[in-house]
Amino acid sequence: MRFSAVIVAAGVGARAGPGEAKQWRLLAGRAVARWSAEALLAAGADELIVVIGEGQEDRAEAAFAGLGPIKRVIGGFARSDSVKAGLAALSCDEDQIVLVHDAARPLLKVEHVRRLLEALQTAPAGILALQLADTLKRDDGASRIAATPSRAGLWRAQTPQGFRLGALRTAYAAWPSDEEPTDEAIVIERAGGQVALVPGDPGLAKLTYPEDFAMAERLAGAVREMRIGQGIDAHRFGPGESVWLCGVEIAHSHALVGHSDADAGLHAITDAVLGAIGEGDIGDHFPPTDPIWRGASSDQFLLHAAGLVAARGGRIVNIDVTLVCERPKIKPHRQAMRERLAQILGLDLAAVSVKATTMEGMGFTGREEGLLAQAVAMVELPA
C-alpha cells in the first residue's frame, strides 16, 4: 500500500535534560530523528517530510546526510502547527494515506508500519497503541492517591498514526484555534471520524526524560548486526589531462578510460557497500551498456548504494580504500579524498581511510598502463 509520511521533529525537548534538542542527540551513533526516517524509507514511503524547528537546519542536514529524498520544512511553536506545516508540504493526492510520526519515538520498525498499513486497508484511520497493563492512580495534587480509575478499555497512544491526507487536513481546519490537540487521532475524532486501534510495541517508547535514553540505547544495540563487503575496480589509462579518484580531480598526463568518469576509487567503494548488503555490483545498478551513464560522475553511484543501505534501516560504519598505482602520487590528495568521501556518505572523517601503494614496477599498474582500487566497507543493519 502506498503512503507518505511526516516526521515531527521541531520541539526542544526541555524535559530530556540539558544539551541539544533530543531529536538531534545520538542514539547508537545516529541522530534520534534519523532512526525513524530510515524506517519509513525502508517501509517504502513515497514522500517523507521532516518538520524541524527554526535554526535547526544545519543539525538536520547532518542528521539525514546520505538518506534518500527527504524534504525539510520549518514547523511552528505548537506541535499541531508543525503537523499542519508538514501536511501542507506534501504533494500527494488527498486520498493518499499519510503517517504522522514523532521523531522522539526512534525505534520504529518496518513491521510497525506494515501492521498499521494493513489496518488502513479497511479502516479510514488508525494508530499504533498499547492496552494498559499497569494499575492507574489519580493524585490529589499533593502526591497522594485520590482514586484508582479502572483501566478497562484504556490504551496508550503511540505513533505513527495514519489517515487519509484530505480527511486530516479538513479535520485540522475545523479544530478550535484556542485548543491544542495532543495527537492527530483526537483531531479526527472531534471531526466525527473513526480511528482503529492497532497493537503497538513497548519498544516504540517515546524519549521524554534523561533516563529514557539509557533504555533506548540498550534496545538499539540489541537489534543490529554488522556486515562487511569488499570491492575491486581497475581502469586503464588513455589520452587526457586529469584523473578522477575518490571524487577528486587530479592533474595527470593521462586520463582513466571508462563508461562513466572512470573513478576507480568510488567504483570500488560502491561495490564494497553493495556487497555488504547483498545487492550485487555496480554493473547491476548502472549497466555500462546504458548511454545515460556515459561520462557520469561516479559520486551518484555511491550515493545510490548508500541510499540502499539507508532504505534497509542500516548505516555505513566505515570505509577503507587502497589505490594501487605508480602515478599520480596519491599522498598530496589523500586528505581531500577523505573529506570528499566523508561528505558523500555523511560519515565522520575518522571513519574514512584512503591509502595508496605501488607494485614496484610489476604488473599493469607497475607498467603504468592503468590503476586499481580495492575497498572494504562495514555496514550496520537491523538484525
CA dihedral (20, 22, 24, 27) in degrees, to 10, reads 120
Q: What is the pLDDT of residue 20?
A: 77
Q: What is the pLDDT of residue 14?
A: 53
Secondary structure, 3-state, 182-248: CCHHHHHHHCCCCCEEEECCCCCCCCCCHHHHHHHHHHHHCCEEEEEEEEEEEEEEECCCEEEECCE
Collapsing DSSP to helix, strand or coil, 286 comes out as coil
pLDDT in tens, 349-362: 999 999 999 999 99
pLDDT in tens, 78-126: 999 999 999 999 999 999 999 999 999 999 999 999 999 999 999 999 9
| Residues forming a β-bridge with 319 | 352, 377
pLDDT in tens, 262-308: 999 999 999 999 999 999 999 999 998 888 888 889 999 999 999 99
Q: Residue 1's closest CA among 127, 122, 160?
A: 122
- Residue limits of CATH 3.90.550.10 in the chain: 3-221
Mean pLDDT of 118-135: 96
pLDDT in tens, 196-240: 999 999 989 899 888 887 778 777 765 568 999 999 999 999 999
Q: Nearest 5°: CA angle at 225, between 223 and 230?
A: 160
- Residue limits of CATH 3.30.1330.50 in the chain: 224-382
Here the contacts of 18-23 (C-beta below 8 Å, separation 24 or greater) are: 20/59, 21/53, 21/56, 21/59, 22/104, 22/207, 22/213, 23/103, 23/104
Q: Residue 28's closest CA among 306, 204, 214?
A: 214
Q: Which residue has the cell 540502499?
A: 308
Q: What is the pLDDT of residue 164?
A: 97
Superfamily of domain 3-221: Spore Coat Polysaccharide Biosynthesis Protein SpsA; Chain A (3.90.550.10)
CA distance 139 to 146: 5
Collapsing DSSP to helix, strand or coil, 280 comes out as coil
Q: 224-382: what CATH class?
A: alpha beta
Q: What is the pLDDT of residue 291?
A: 86
Mean pLDDT of 147-167: 96
CA distance 116 to 49: 19
Q: What is the pLDDT of residue 332?
A: 96
Q: What is the pLDDT of residue 288?
A: 85
For residue 21, name the pLDDT band (cuts at 50, 70, 90).
Answer: confident
CA distance 87 to 323: 48
